[in-house]
Structure 1
Amino acid sequence: MTEAVPSWRRRAISVAAMRELARAALPRPVFDFADGGAEDELTLRRNESAFDDIDLLPRPLSGAATRDLSVDLLGKKLSLPVIVGPTGLGGLFWPDGERCAARAAASAGTAYCLSHGSVCTLEQLAGTGVSPRWMQVFIYRDRGFTRELTERAATASYDALVLTTDNQMLGNRERDLRNGFTIPPRFGATGLAGMALKAEWLWRMRKELPRITFGNYVRPGEASDIKSLAGRMSQLLDPAMHWGDVDALRKLWTGPLILKGILHPDEAKMAVSRGVDALIVSNHGGRQLDGAASGLDALPAIVDAVDGRIPVLVDGGIRRGTDVVKALALGAKACLIGRPQLWGVAVAGEAGVARVLEIFAQEIDRAMGLCGVTRIDQIDNSLLLKQRIGQGS
């Protein structure tokens, strides 16, 4: 007897559809926590609209009966050029959300990056055995804590360290302010009255909400509630970080070191000269500096600056397989997704993230076939309409 297809899966025909399913499933403050950006959200919107300024120029007579979506990155072969990027508090959207997403990424044959602000600890994530797994760190005022997280990641055999550089001050995320967003979420009588349609989320999370915390920041003998830890995290951020801190981290971490948050080509050149192994062109999903360039708009200059010496990745606004193809054509080695995997985990946990990655794989494969491309390394700027490239960047 054929097993019935879940109703959510029948409706999850695209990443945009998954977003709407997540909107329906989550309380508004929780949905907006993932979905929102900084201030007027100009950069958030530009992250997506930048892809509209790039046109593909297919060559269907090249012949592409079969397509290979795999890519070699930092000594690992990935089944597709889409990586699950770091997003905080995945466990707020589904019980054990980070490990659900990591297992989905591993099943799809791609990498997963754990956020510093995850609910589970980095050791708990490593306990799943998923690979490749990356760990996100910051440069903190307490450099000893940066060292501590780095050493823990090494002990837990993480495959790469991702130093995020654009979170040295917290962005002004006005949706969260308007919603009075708190963690764990608290709802007054009026709010609770309007929660009937979110009953499934409330029931699913009933045991999780009181225990949600930032797992990697819990220390023996110190307060472990999320309010205390959130305050400590904000105090740890250091706007005085500098290249000397990157040098120190490079000496400490012997595996692949990736810098995330690069938008300026001069910083890309500096990173190469200091032994960084890869870059992620990123504006933190439009959640930090509103008005910052989109990742796609900044990408070509970064690629030129690096000149093939290290791989360049990009994130921000990637919602379609064609977005991935356009980014690769502009010189990216692979793309990272943040919000799409959170929408997936909010809808169906591991199965939801698996569906998001499946959608990307299907759309990339279709785009490659229609463009006459059989391998990822054949995707270059010859697939792009040049006039539009100049207008959009």
Structure 2
Amino acid sequence: MLRRTAASVHDYRLTAQSILPRTLFEYVDGGALDESTLARNTADFEEIYIRQKVLRGEKVDPAGPVLGHIASFPVALAPIGSLGMLYPQGEILAFQAAHAAGIGACLSSFSVCSIEEVMPEVGDGDAFQLYVLKDPGRTEEILARATAAGFRNLVITVDTTHPGMRDRDLRNGYRSAARPSLSMLLDCAMHPRWFARSWRSLGRGLGNFAHWDGVGSGLIAQAAYMSRQLKTDLTWSDIEAVVKRWPGRVVVKGVTDPEDVARAIGIGADGVVVSNHGGRQLDGVMSSIAALPVIASRYSGEVEILFDSGIRRGSHLLKALALGADGCLLGRSYAYGLAAAGADGVIAVLEMLRKELTMSMSLAGVTSVEDIKKRHMACVSLREARPNVSALVGFS
């Protein structure tokens, strides 16, 4: 049950904050260092105006392709680690909710539910997200299991060769403590709604790695261990080897520089995600929405260009599509819904965003995602008081 009737993603965030132990909420909500990029990811959307066009008298259809699949609106659920700690069976519920809403979902390598547990839910528009590990044998095992589970899309995250330094996580001990501290345990006990639904699954760890030697037991220990197993000297040659090995589509996630997009295209990637990891890795970089237009202007049509980071409203989706995204990935928005109300919360968040996008499209005089792409920059304009942002995002 929500504390009040939710009208927006912001309301679901407040409910999630009240339900979750501080450690878990800050894991979802926080960003790197001073969180300036985290804030900018959403704030920079407000520097872009939608151009209103009225009395067009045409029906709006927000459906569009994402990850090789026609979605009810052009989004998919982004990979988020440890969803199963926000709500029991969280990854399975997220996939079920996504499919009920007519969109796809991406399973994180760092999931609580294993690949095999999620396998019955896997459809054509879904994806598995890979972190390349130091041990090539373990990376190969994960790829083989994802292939066997029926995933056709592989999303390779490339902006985590060094773990982001997140002050909130450092303070509360997440991914640094070997086991839950007394303060963590007390915090869990002080959140009875979360504890009542989650206590049976508290012993679970990261499902994809729990059987490996040395990984430890429990989420805290396993998350700390696996964060040290990521390949820190990852190169484009390593990504190319995965592209050649994977039988389906490959998307490179975590690029904001046009030269990196060119490299991804050069090694045969089918798509890229313009993303700064939700402001969770390198603080002080430009927002993802500021990085998008230049990339889209150079490479639209050559590769599927997906966008994430900072989306909280359906109008943000319209702005990203108008600036050149082929589709968008949702992260924190649906995580708040999951934490608040399980699958129902995710479905509600998705329905909110779909309705907001449809309304925004209607009042902007566009009837389809294809129409947005054709009109492109004619759908939006920049706040004139911020010429410095104009230079960043490529407006003239």
The TM-score by the shorter chain falls in which range? Answer: over 0.9
* 1:219 aligned onto 2:215: no
Cα distance in 2 between the residues matched to 1:206 and 1:184: 20
> Identity of paired residues, percent?
37
Count the aligned residue pairs.
384
Identify the range of structure 1 (258-267 vs 238-247) with the bigger mean alpha-carbon deviation: 238-247
In the superposition, relative to structure 1, how do residues 75 and 186 fare at CA in structure 2: closer, same or farther (>3 Å)? closer
| Matched AA of 1:301 | V
Give 1:228 deviation, angstroms. Answer: 4.4
Shift of the 200–184 alpha-carbon distance from structure 1 to 2, 3 Å rule, reads farther
The answer on whether the counterparts of 2:291 and 2:392 sit within 8 Å (CA) in structure 1 is: no
1:183-198 equivalences under 5 Å are 186=180, 188=182, 192=186, 195-196=189-190, 198=191
Measure the CA separation in 1 of the matches of 2:113 and 2:277.
21
Partner of 2:335: 342
The match for 2:325 is 332
Q: Quick one: distance in 2 between partners of 1:333 and 1:137?
A: 22
5+ residue gaps, structure 1: 1-5
Matched, 1:142 2:135: yes
Q: 1:332 deviation in Å? A: 0.2
Q: 1:342 and 1:392 mapped to 2: Cα distance?
A: 30
> Partners in 1 of 2:183 and 2:236 — Cα distance?
50
Q: Does 1:313 align with 2:306?
A: yes
CA contact 1:106–1:132 (8 Å) conserved in 2: no
Give the aligned residue type for 1:34.
V
For residues 8-19 of structure 1, the aligned pairs below 5 Å read 8=3, 11-19=5-13
1:292 matched to which residue of 2? Answer: 285
Equivalent-residue separation in structure 2 for 1:269 and 1:123 (angstroms): 34
* Residue deviations 1:34-92 (CA, integer Å, cap 9, x gap): 1000100011001111101111111113333x211111234311111121100110011
- After superposition, the Cα gap between the structure-2 partners of 1:176 and 1:105, relative to the gap in structure 1 and judged at 3 Å, is same
SS in 1 for 2:252: strand
Change (3 A) 1:266 1:293: same
Distance 2:89 2:383 in 1: 47
1:106 to 70, 74, 99: 99
Query: Are 1:94 and 2:87 an aligned pair?
Result: yes
Alignment of 1:1-393 (within 5 A): 7-8=2-3, 11-64=5-58, 66-181=59-174, 186=180, 188=182, 192=186, 195-196=189-190, 198-209=191-202, 211-219=203-211, 223-226=215-218, 227-379=220-372, 380-385=376-381, 388=384, 390=390, 393=393
Superposition RMSD in Å: 2.1
3-state secondary structure, aligned to 2:347: helix
Letter in 2 for 1:372: G
**Mean alpha-carbon deviation: is it higher for 199-208 or for 224-233?**
224-233
Deviation at 1:193, TM superposition (A): 7.9
Structure 1 stretch displaced more, 226-235 or 297-306? 226-235
> How far apart in 1 are the matches of 2:100 and 2:179?
32
3-state secondary structure, aligned to 2:121:
coil
Deviates more, 1:161-170 or 1:382-391: 382-391
Distance 1:235 1:223, change over 3 A: closer
What is the rounded CA distance, in whole Å, between the counterparts of 2:184 and 2:245 in structure 1? 51
- What is the alpha-carbon distance in structure 2 between the residues aligned to residue 173 and residue 285 of structure 1? 12
Relative to structure 1, the CA distance from residue 193 to residue 86 in structure 2 (aligned partners, 3 Å threshold; closer, same or farther) is closer
The one-character-per-residue Cα deviations of 1:184-206 (angstroms, maximum 9, x if unpaired) are 9846379738954x211111111
The whole-number CA distance in structure 2 between the counterparts of 1:358 and 1:172 is: 34
Change (3 A) 1:370 1:173: same
Is contact 2:66-2:125 (8 Å) kept?
Answer: no
Partners of 1:100 and 1:374 lie apart in 2 by: 32
C-alpha distance in 2, partners of 1:30/1:166? 22
- What CA distance in whole angstroms lies between the structure 2 residues aligned with 1:260 and 1:224? 28
How far apart in 2 are the matches of 1:358 and 1:190?
34
Going from structure 1 to structure 2, the CA distance change for 1:142 and 1:253 (only over 3 Å counts) comes to: same
Q: SS where residue 83 of structure 1 aligns?
A: strand
* Runs of at least 5 residues in structure 2 that lack an aligned partner in the other structure: none
Pair 1:386–1:234, CA change in 2 (3 A) = closer
- C-alpha contact 1:263 1:283 (8 A) present in aligned 2: yes
